[in-house]
Amino acid sequence: MNAEIRERREMVGGTSRGKKKGHPLLRWSMKQESFSHGFSQSDLQALSAICDAIMPPVPLQSLDLDMKLKVLRNDALLSFFKSSGSHVRPDEVAEVMATKAMPLTVTVVRIVLRLLTFRLGTLLLCGFVCLDKENWSPLLLKFSDISLEKREKVLQKWNTQWYNPLARIAFMMIKAIFLFYYFTWTNENTENPAWDAIGYTVDIGEENENTEHKERPLEKGIIETAKEDDVTAIKQRLINKGLKVKEDKETNALKIECDAVVIGSGCGGGVAAANLAKSGLKVIVLEKGNYFVPRDYSTLEGPSMFEMFEANGLLMTHDGRFRFMAGSTLGGGSVVNWAASLKTPDAIIDEWSKDRGVAIFAREEYTAAMESVCERIGVTERVIREGFQNQILRRGCDKLGLDVTVVPRNSSEEHYCGSCSFGCKTGDKRGTDITWLVDAVDSNNAVILTQCRAEKLILVNNGRRKKCVGVTASSTTTSNKTVKKIEISAKVTVVACGSLMTPGLLSTSGLKNPNIGRGLHIHPILMAWGYFPEKNSEFNGAAHEGEIMTSLHYVFEMDSTTPNITLETPALGPGTFAALVPWVSGSDVKKRLAKYARTSHIFVTVRDEGVGEVKEGIVKYKLTKADEENLVTGLRRALRILVAAGAEEVGTYRSDGQRLKCDGIKEEDLEEFLEKVDAPAGVVSMSERWTHSFTAHQMGCCRMGKTEREGAVDGYGESWEAEDLYVCDASVLPTALGVNPMITTQSTAYCISKRIAELMKKRKQD
């Protein structure tokens, strides 16, 4: 380990409050000296040379007066500006990349790094900048031998060169992963030296003897399969719960019989499990993620994202424009989401029930279902204290005379934790893990198998239509890596793996309906930012503090003809912020990060017409012209709101770092700036400027339809192709929704599962 790295590790700062550290899986464990990344030493040298150029040391004299004064008053900021990217071990960045990122993007990074280890490869990717003009022997330099200044220039070119796609994709990936790691990594005392510099604190909560030993809410119904060494132990526990189980010792396999198997435990699966179990059916819930409770949450952005999000939070659309955020833990998205609990708009209920003829959305029953859902998860509209970003959204709207609405949430009026994206440490947000799944387990009819991945539905021929009679799953034991096979026979099978995973399970099981995997909507997002220095500011707090969403502005009110454009505020930890922030130079990225805590964001989402498809793990998605126009309309409105609220500077996430200083600005200047705001393409495009954003609302890729041609499932969620097979998650929604989808997903699941319970009851009576 070199001296600079040691210095970074030994620096104390970046405090986290509290003594508890959370579950080991939710903390960094990068202690090993051997890595599995497969990059060679020369690849790592090239990687380190890139990281160094992304975050070079920044001389004090290059800072403006305000920043200089801040730096001189703050030692942490001083060492932040002095530090460089090479302080981070390239092995660690490479390990995160190789083990967490999408394999295709890792391959691109490998190719580029390997080329950069050669002089000719460097010439090919960087051009004549690698000519050593001062010293004519050797003539060409490999990347790591080029001066820091020139390396930074190379990165600036890669950023814009659409005709050099390998370099641009590799640059984007390395920048995102390296900066994410830089700002999320912690030492064993949960400290990161950069946090003090950027004003970030992590509240990991006080050690509390009572909560430490309190039984977990799902204890009596949970079997954490990866913890069990052999299937016999699991078998015994299932028998104790009244299920019929057979064991095959030779194949380390279990055969379980139940009435209903629910695959996935998120917004859809959680509700379905509760309704089916409460109706008296013996239910098994399969969830591939782990079970965590509030005392486990570390609220550390890096490890929590990797552990609790689908594909480590790094799945992107094929063009790199949107990155998907979806929960993958017991409770699914409901555990990591931002608690906004908006009911399905009337216009959408009408569109789905009348225009599309989807039976489940019959007005009266569906509205009653929404009421039951909101009651169970304790939705409130009261807010006692608004956080920094929401105060700004509200004030900006007020100043412009725009309506601003309170966001109803499934957390209490006092809730003020800004880290619900990594599990609500206060236990206040009511995800399915502390509501519906508890109901299921408390009925004594449900068993939840965690760390257990459903692999294939069991379909048998049954005349013209198939019949689903269960599912096969597997679980790998953590200690000895043995694989346990689990076969579940069920009278009814409910798939609720979320929109990114449900289509894959259906199609690998042999279902052929063309709507499976098609028609994906994502509520695309673009973000605006505004910087609000502390001095003389009416807004207190920091961007990462407080309830994530409490204010909302609709650019157009929702009705069936106007596409909805919504402005809300996000939770952006420093890692995500750093990964997304446009990189235009090393000093610029440091200055932007130094302003992290006082940079407020507003994001625009639109009810998208554009559709995508999920096929074999690849997600393709394309916006329509109208979607792009709506995004631009929303983005311009968001920027106006930030300016009206008093931002010193505002900007977008376009790769050229588009921004505007607002001090003393005239309306014409603002207009001129807003005119240039657009909806850039992704990194893989023939366009100089690009953007990278996230989306958290996936829906519609196994939609309900009146006929087999219109939907993957019928108007009650049942597969057109296989009897007794239901889909019960956001993927059944017929179109994009236009508002945050949790309540709609739960209410839809409520209606589907209530009907299944009735049918099963009838079947038993007949």
Ligand X SMILES: Cc1cc2nc3c(=O)[nH]c(=O)nc-3n(C[C@H](O)[C@H](O)[C@H](O)COP(=O)(O)OP(=O)(O)OC[C@H]3O[C@@H](n4cnc5c(N)ncnc54)[C@H](O)[C@@H]3O)c2cc1C
Residues that bind ligand X (CB under 6 A): 263-269, 286-289, 325-329, 332-334, 336-340, 421, 453-454, 496-499, 501, 505, 549, 696-697, 729-730, 740-742, 745
Toward ligand X, which CB reaches closer, 658 or 753? 753
Burial class (CB in 10 A: 0-12, 13-18, 19+), 97: buried
Residues 556 and 562 sit within 8 Å (Cβ to Cβ): yes
Does residue 28 sit in helix, strand or coil? coil
- CA dist 609 and 409 (Å) reads 27
The nearest distance, CB 415 to ligand X, in angstroms, is 13
- CA dist 93 and 97 (Å) reads 6
Toward ligand X, which CB reaches closer, 16 or 334? 334
The nearest distance, CB 74 to ligand X, in angstroms, is 31
The nearest distance, CB 184 to ligand X, in angstroms, is 16
Toward ligand X, which CB reaches closer, 205 or 498? 498
Toward ligand X, which CB reaches closer, 177 or 308? 308
Residues 211 and 329 sit within 8 Å (Cβ to Cβ): no
Residues 6+ apart with CB under 8 A from 24: none
Residue given tokens 């076969």 in the structure block: 487
Of all helices (H) and strands (E), which one includes residue 643? helix 625-644
The nearest distance, CB 421 to ligand X, in angstroms, is 5
DSSP 570-619: ----HHHHHHHS--S-HHHHHHHHHTGGGEEEEEEEE-----EEEETTEE
- CA dist 255 and 141 (Å) reads 62
Residues 358 and 748 sit within 8 Å (Cβ to Cβ): no
342 is written with which tokens?
A: 């908006």
Toward ligand X, which CB reaches closer, 109 or 374? 374
CB atoms within 10 A of CB 614: 27
The residue type found at 74 is N
By residue count, the chain amounts to: 766
Q: Report strand pairing: 322-324 vs 693-695.
A: parallel
Toward ligand X, which CB reaches closer, 495 or 589? 495
686 is written with which tokens?
A: 């023939």
The nearest distance, CB 710 to ligand X, in angstroms, is 20
Q: Can you give the three-state secondary structure of 259-325, one letter per residue?
A: EEEEECCCHHHHHHHHHHHHCCCCEEEECCCCCCCHHHCCCCHHHHHHHHEHHHHCCEECCCCEEEC
CB atoms within 10 A of CB 160: 16
Binding residues: 258-273
- CA dist 287 and 451 (Å) reads 6
Strand order in the sheet with 525-531: 405-406, 551-556, 565-568, 599-606, 525-531, 649-652, 659-661
Residues 305 and 101 sit within 8 Å (Cβ to Cβ): no
Alpha carbon 180 to chain centroid distance?
A: 14
Binding residues for FAD: 258-273
Of all helices (H) and strands (E), which one includes residue 727? strand 725-727
User: Whole-angstrom distance between the N-terminal and C-terminal Cα of the chain?
Assistant: 73
Alpha carbon 498 to chain centroid distance?
A: 13
The nearest distance, CB 38 to ligand X, in angstroms, is 27
- CA dist 30 and 33 (Å) reads 9
Strand partners, 447: 284
- CA dist 521 and 624 (Å) reads 12
Toward ligand X, which CB reaches closer, 169 or 495? 495
- CA dist 746 and 749 (Å) reads 5
- CA dist 269 and 266 (Å) reads 5
683 is written with which tokens?
A: 């990194």
Toward ligand X, which CB reaches closer, 166 or 347? 347
Toward ligand X, which CB reaches closer, 288 or 659? 288
Phi, psi of 615 (to 5 degrees): -145, 125
For the question of residue 601 being annotated catalytic, the response is no
CA distances in angstroms from 116 to 42, 65, 186, 635, listed in the order given: 9, 38, 30, 38
Toward ligand X, which CB reaches closer, 101 or 494? 494
Toward ligand X, which CB reaches closer, 287 or 724? 287
The nearest distance, CB 582 to ligand X, in angstroms, is 22
Strand partners, 661: 649
Burial class (CB in 10 A: 0-12, 13-18, 19+), 51: buried
Toward ligand X, which CB reaches closer, 317 or 337? 337
| Catalytically annotated residues | 697
